[in-house]
Structure 1
Amino acid sequence: MKRAFGLAAVLALTIGAMYLAQRRNRHDAVSASALVNLAADWQRDLTRVPMHLTRISDSEEMRIGDQLAQRYATPIRTAEDRALERYISEVGQQVTLHARRKLIWHFHLLADPSLINAFALPGGHIFVGSGLLDQLKSEDELAFVLGHEIEHVDHYHAAERVQIEAKLRHVDLDLAGQLLSIPMSLWQAGYSKDEESEADREGLRIAVASDYSSQGAVNLLERWVQLHREYVIHAETPTDELGQVAIEGLTGYFRSHPLPSERLAQAKEIIEQEHLATGKPLKPFHLAYEITIEAK
């Protein structure tokens, strides 16, 4: 009886999702792009229906994220790194004001110049590698990067990932010892193409809502397109323009995200469709910190 009830609930939700999707888009202009996006969103929603029925609570998600963050966090040893982490947090907290979920958000620096990546944990923990920060040219680019990661939490991508991983590894999420067996590499591996695209779309929107220019996202993605070309060409024989450290860092980044050219095209499409301003002056990427020298 319970199994039949569960199947009926899934079927009802599926029909409801199809009905709402049709109503939500019935006034949109008909185009090939719109139809493709609608089909992708509809397929994504259907495949995630069972997870919606068994999703962990916000409080449980935050507990899991807190425990994982304690394991993954590394000591901040220099004044510059402390300033970087504070700066990431200030920008990130501003962007989270426009997130849908009202969580307690935390931002962490991983002081590793070879880590050209960022990732999100369930419950609102965002980690950024210093190698990725070295690639950024403006605060607006940072806001887009953080917005992308925030949306992986905001849309439950991270929560669903830990639930799926727990089932695959036979991990009891209530036991901290078992939970901590989940490696950090899982979160750096990225999500499905649909989820990464969703994080890009919504991350761009909340960054712009936070008073940042959409041009920041365009600039960063254009640079990723160029770096991807250099990476493909020079991965085996690094040149001065793209050294070995950058090659190793970009390997993980490009493997965990859709093609930069696809991400750029989507960003430009959203900017055009939603009339997002690109002429707003970019905010400089800046740090301010003090170094105290103790007298001997």
Structure 2
Amino acid sequence: MKKSREVRRLAGFAAAVLLAACEVSQEQEVALGDQTAQEVQAALPIVDDRYIAEYVAELGDTIAKLTSRNDLDWRFYVVNSHQVNAFALPGGHIYVNRGLIDATDQMYELAGVLGHEIGHVIQRHSVKQMQSQQKLGIAATLACTLTDICNNELGQAAINIGGTAVVARHSRKDEFQADSEAVENVLRAKIDPAGIPVLFETLMEQRQTQPTVVDGWFASHPLEETRVANSRKLIEATGADRVAGLLQDIPSYQEFKRRVARLPEPVVPRRAPGTQ
């Protein structure tokens, strides 16, 4: 009951923000993101390993602080889920599943993902999606879409109030736009943007061999050959001189991956009463 009330409170808050004006101010955007983040972090198994948390935060900050929205209080989190996914909330909250980190081989691939999610925040894609929705079950729907947590009480509460995937699903237009942002974002940080299409290709290969692990990514991030080709064209358009000699990997990234691999297995959430 308490969780259900929390989700209803969030929905009411979000609806008030969206109905108050056609344009959501940055202050409102940050408040909405902070409220949503509280719900998300109550529902998802956020990794509390200091080394892992600080590593992702440092890499993310390196990229985010060089963007046009460097005034935001950017925050980065790792979710203890083997599902391959990542998502962004309004105001600068970025979440990356351990499964996605496991799917990378080198640092520039994770940097590309962070640059992409940062791009969604820069373009305010989640806010725009929320403005087009009539019902908001934001945090619980994220939990259901991005991990295997759908059977807990928070997930059921979202279903009961008609929650919709207003943050978890991006249009192809939004994805192309975020890809473009990602290329520029990592370039400013002196990181090779080639990690973006490299990871895309890895995920497309995994879709053939491990579909249940990557389905969440494809559900929330439409991905096809055209996006891979487009990302390569974006990189080529920057010019060979601009990408020459940029970082692809660093020794500490491999230690970071080993630390992630040693994390305890995710706790399977208990089913809510009355569910099957």
Query: What TM-score do you get using the length of structure 2 for normalisation?
Result: 0.69
Deviation at 1:97, TM superposition (A): 1.6
Amino acid at match of 1:280: L
Deviation at 1:221, TM superposition (A): 2.2
Deviation at 1:137, TM superposition (A): 1.1
> 1:286 matched to which residue of 2?
254
Q: Which stretch shifts more, 261-270 or 273-282?
A: 273-282
Deviation at 1:68, TM superposition (A): 0.9
Q: Which stretch shifts more, 246-255 or 93-102?
A: 246-255
Alignment of 1:114-133 (within 5 A): 115-133=83-101
Give the alignment partner of residue 205 of structure 2, picking from 226, 229, 236: 226
Amino acid at match of 1:248: T
| Distance in 1 (alpha carbons) for counterparts of 2:100 and 2:66 | 23
Give the alignment partner of residue 65 of structure 2, picking from 66, 89, 97: 97
Q: 1:265 to 1:183 in 2, by over 3 A?
A: closer
> 1:254 matched to which residue of 2?
218
Q: 1:152 to 1:76 in 2, by over 3 A?
A: closer
CA RMSD of aligned residues (A): 2.6
Residues 117 and 188, structure 1, Cα contact 8 Å, conserved in 2: no
Q: 1:98 to 1:248 in 2, by over 3 A?
A: same
Structure with higher Rg: it is 1
| Distance in 1 (alpha carbons) for counterparts of 2:132 and 2:34 | 18
Q: 1:54 to 1:142 in 2, by over 3 A?
A: same
| Distance in 1 (alpha carbons) for counterparts of 2:246 and 2:200 | 18
Amino acid at match of 1:67: Q
Deviation at 1:187, TM superposition (A): 5.8
Deviation at 1:224, TM superposition (A): 2.7
Residues 84 and 287, structure 1, Cα contact 8 Å, conserved in 2: no
Amino acid at match of 1:215: A
Q: 1:133 to 1:273 in 2, by over 3 A?
A: same
| Distance in 2 (alpha carbons) for counterparts of 1:67 and 1:189 | 16
1:137 aligns with 2:105: yes
Deviation at 1:181, TM superposition (A): 6.6
> 2:129 matched to which residue of 1?
161
Structure 2 gap ranges (5+): 1-18, 146-164, 263-276
Amino acid at match of 2:128: E
Q: 1:95 to 1:192 in 2, by over 3 A?
A: same
Q: Deviations over 1:77-101 (max 9, x none)?
A: 664xx32222111100010022212
Give the alignment partner of residue 24 of structure 2, picking from 48, 56, 62: 56
Query: What TM-score do you get using the length of structure 1 for normalisation?
Result: 0.64
> 1:277 matched to which residue of 2?
243
> 1:210 matched to which residue of 2?
189
> 2:76 matched to which residue of 1?
107
Q: Say which SS state the counterpart of residue 127 (structure 1) adopts.
A: strand
| Distance in 2 (alpha carbons) for counterparts of 1:119 and 1:126 | 6
Q: Deviations over 1:10-36 (max 9, x none)?
A: xxxxxxxxxxxxxxxxxxxxxxxxxxx
Q: Deviations over 1:156-178 (max 9, x none)?
A: 1011122223xx11x6xxxxxx8
| Distance in 2 (alpha carbons) for counterparts of 1:65 and 1:59 | 10
Deviation at 1:286, TM superposition (A): 3.4
Structure 1 gap ranges (5+): 1-50, 172-177, 232-241, 292-296
> 2:270 matched to which residue of 1?
none
| Distance in 1 (alpha carbons) for counterparts of 2:141 and 2:220 | 18
Q: Say which SS state the counterpart of residue 206 (structure 2) adopts.
A: helix
Q: Say which SS state the counterpart of residue 286 (structure 1) adopts.
A: helix
Deviation at 1:264, TM superposition (A): 1.5
| Distance in 2 (alpha carbons) for counterparts of 1:63 and 1:279 | 40
Q: Deviations over 1:238-291 (max 9, x none)?
A: xxxx3xxx42121121233233422221111111111141553522323467x9
> 2:272 matched to which residue of 1?
none
Deviation at 1:190, TM superposition (A): 2.4
| Distance in 2 (alpha carbons) for counterparts of 1:287 and 1:264 | 28
